Amino acid sequence: MPSYPLQAGPVPLQWPQPRHTLHAGPRLSSSASSKELLMKLRRKTGYSFVNCKKALETCGGDLKQAESWLHEQARKEGWSKAAKLHGRKTKEGLIGLLQEGNTTVLVEVNCETDFVARNLKFQQLVQQVALGTMLHCQSLKNQLSTYSKGFLNSSELSELPTGPEREGSLKDQLALAIGKLGENMTLKRAAWVKVPTGFYVGSYVHGAMHSPSLHNLVLGKYGALVICETSEWKANLEDLGRRLGQHVVGMAPLSVGSLDDEPGGEAETKMLSQPYLLDPSITLGQYVQPQGVSVVDFVRFECGESEEAAESE
């Protein structure tokens, strides 16, 4: 009968369709190439297996889009958590000291507990802040005939770009760290010093530990930079600079003073007339004078100190 071919006609056309869709579905499946994509995304971003899998599914297996999607989700989550935790006290944290060429920076990043301060992710945040401050300082086109010194407050620090390795600003990195570690954190402050020939910056960090991935970044609870003027390079300058930094951390002077200041009274807050930390039988000025250098300035950071104390320095 003529109706049979008409009814049977569509049947062979329908069979290949399910077989075809098995091969044309989302690129993320249990295949070896999909597992490789998943591992590559995990290695590159550090996010969990579940999040990376979701990112690849959402982005149809596109690695670059999946990476951007993950970062965007983490940023949203971080800002959301930061808003919830805002206002909680941040008295712990770390000082970071970074030196490159004629430029030295000190930064302070705070968190709620010492437990988080010891976390690698928090230390990586301090590293980002130090690098961002260093790049900012190096971008300042000033001709140096003498040393220059500058400070950045919390809001200025937050707006600095993170540098060529990462997108966004330091406040984005702060939000990501808050999202990952679950504590309130603040980018408190930074100081930088640039010196020309004839000057030297001594440095010291108390309780120092080196950054796991940046060899010239030192982390601790107290940090000091001491700017010295010297007519010639001396072999012991590094050791001398470290000892002067130790003195500034331990004795907390408020000004340099002069070699003519008499010890005692108000002079106790002046660096050169203070008893030398490592030999209280002499003043710091008496220790420095035979070394052939002049102390001209210093910066001291103490982690968690009050705003008033920080501003008085």
- Mean confidence (pLDDT) of the chain: 81
∠ CA 283-284-288, rounded to 5°: 125
> Residue 308's pLDDT band (boundaries 50, 70, 90)?
low
Q: Encode pLDDT of 250-295 as tens digits.
A: 999 999 999 888 877 777 899 999 999 999 999 999 999 999 899 9
- At 166 the pLDDT is 67
In this structure, the chain runs to a length of 313
Which tokens belong to 284? 């710091």
Q: Is the pTM of this model over 0.95?
A: no
Residue 270: exposure state from Cβ atoms within 10 A (0-12, 13-18, ≥19): buried
Q: Encode pLDDT of 163-185 as tens digits.
A: 666 678 898 889 888 888 888 89
Domains of the chain, with CATH numbers?
A: 45-85 (1.10.8.10), 92-303 (3.30.479.20)
The mean pLDDT value for 188-196 works out to: 95
**Euclidean distance between CA atoms 72 and 175, whole angstroms:** 11
